[in-house]
A = this chain, B = another copy of it.
Amino acid sequence: MGMSTSTRKQQAREAREDLILREAQAILLERGYLGLTMDRIAQATDYSKGTIYQHFPNKEEVVMALVTQTSSRRSAMFERAATFRGRSRERMAAIGQAAELFVRLYPDHMRSEQIVRAASVRDKTTPERRRVLEACESRCMNVAKGVVRDAIAAGDLELDPERVPELAFGLWSMHFGAFNLAVAEWPLDELGVDDPLASLRVNQHVLLDGYGWQPLFAGAFDWDATNARIAHEVFAGEWARLAGEA
């Protein structure tokens, strides 16, 4: 058995895994989590159930794989956001824009992530794949923490370095909560919240103002211009795609 054989097999395997995930994604989108079954995946991919099980030990793992795929895109967007040329707080604003853009591009991802996070579902997945997802989160968190540290170094923010994770966690929990509330079609408007994402945009800035991170949102700084610049210089492609889909 030559190297080329092994490679060819490996490639075929990967191609098939891609196909499985593509079809699973489509089924998930069309019929929801409960409508996603291993039999249906098999049928859609024209493979037998046994073959699907060669790739994924259960459907939770399939969903986990989908979540992981998309999550790594988010990490990449965060990393790209942090490269924005501007003051530290503008770079953090870029990360915020990345996060919002992400949920708007992949609204169904949040729904899947919610499922995968539920304890009973997560218990059926392998630690290995969980690790991958944790790594994505870690990347996002590290990008954010890096920007905070840069802010301290640049003198834009006065904060004990010990408290950097705390600040990052504040942003994360606020985003996580708002996105999950926004995506679960709960009647938020009846509670007076017409546009949760808009509220989030403000609250995130208010939080950073609370930390005294310069330049303040409640100040003379032209944040509209910054947001426009971020959209143009970092996420032009994504915004175009979003506009195209709508």
Are B207's CB and A192's CB within 8 A? no
Are A177's CB and B172's CB within 8 A? yes
Q: Which of B122, B165, B170, B193 contacts A206 (CB 8 A)?
A: B170
A95: shortest Cβ distance to chain B, in Å? Answer: 15
The answer, yes or no, to whether A208 is at the interface (CB within 8 Å) is yes
Contacts of A115 in B (CB 8 A): 118, 120
Are B186's CB and A134's CB within 8 A? yes
- Kindly report which residue of chain B lies nearest to residue A188, judged by CB atoms: B169
Are B32's CB and A123's CB within 8 A? yes
Are A173's CB and B181's CB within 8 A? yes
Are B120's CB and A34's CB within 8 A? yes
Q: Which of B117, B138, B166, B203 contacts A170 (CB 8 A)?
A: B203
Q: Which of B33, B121, B166, B178 contacts A169 (CB 8 A)?
A: B178
List CB contacts (< 8 Å) of A178-236 with chain B: 178, 180-181, 184-188, 190-193, 196, 199-200, 202-203, 205-211, 218
A7 to B44, CA, bound (A): 55
The answer, yes or no, to whether A111 is at the interface (CB within 8 Å) is yes
A34 to B115, CA, bound (A): 13
The answer, yes or no, to whether A1 is at the interface (CB within 8 Å) is no
Chief secondary structure at chain A's binding surface: helix
Q: Number of A residues contacting the other chain (C-beta, 8 Å)? A: 58
Contacts of A180 in B (CB 8 A): 117, 176-177, 180
Are A118's CB and B33's CB within 8 A? yes
Contacts of A123 in B (CB 8 A): 32, 34
A128: shortest Cβ distance to chain B, in Å? Answer: 14
Interface residues of A, Cβ cutoff 8 Å to B: 32-35, 111, 114-115, 117-124, 134, 137-138, 141, 145, 164-170, 172-178, 180-181, 184-188, 190-193, 196, 199-200, 202-203, 205-211, 218
**Interchain Cβ contacts under 8 Å between A and B, 27 examples:** A32-B119, A34-B120, A34-B121, A114-B114, A114-B118, A119-B185, A122-B184, A137-B186, A141-B191, A164-B192, A165-B191, A169-B178, A169-B203, A170-B199, A170-B200, A172-B177, A173-B174, A173-B177, A173-B181, A173-B196, A174-B177, A174-B203, A175-B177, A205-B210, A206-B210, A206-B211, A208-B210
